[in-house]
Amino acid sequence: MASSFHITVTPNKNALYIQIQGGFDGSSAQQLLYTLKQYMDHTSRVIINTDNISYFDTLGVNLLRYRIGTVTTSTTRMTFIGDNASIFQSITPSWHCQ
């Protein structure tokens, strides 16, 4: 995992809010997938804030793209927000990025 990568999770009754920060590489993607898996039984709405990502590694984005279906369902509504949300646009076109 990128040494500077950190995830902050704030669950509430309407959605799961995740703040990711630091470098996003393959290990960071795995950590995000693991975090999502922990909460998927309790929510169908996820908001991921990307404002504090300092760099992206192609491996990390690709790993998330190919493995996201193992932790989410077809009813999961995921929104990426923040300055780096467009990086995640390629993961799946059905997700919303702001």
pTM value is: 0.86
C-alpha closest to that of 63 among 41, 31, 95: 31
Predicted confidence (pLDDT) at residue 33 exceeds the cutoff of 80: yes
What is the pLDDT averaged over residues 2-25? 90
Q: Mean pLDDT, to the nearest integer, of 75-91?
A: 84
Closest CA to 26 of 63, 56, 52, 67: 63
Q: What is the mean pLDDT of residues 57-65?
A: 90
* 6-88: CATH number: 3.30.750.24
Query: Residue 12 has what pLDDT?
Result: 86
Q: Where are the domains of the chain?
A: 6-88
pLDDT at 35: 94
Max CA distance (Å), the chain: 33
Q: Average the pLDDT over 10-22 and give the result.
A: 92
So what's the pLDDT on residue 18? Answer: 96
Average pLDDT, the chain: 86
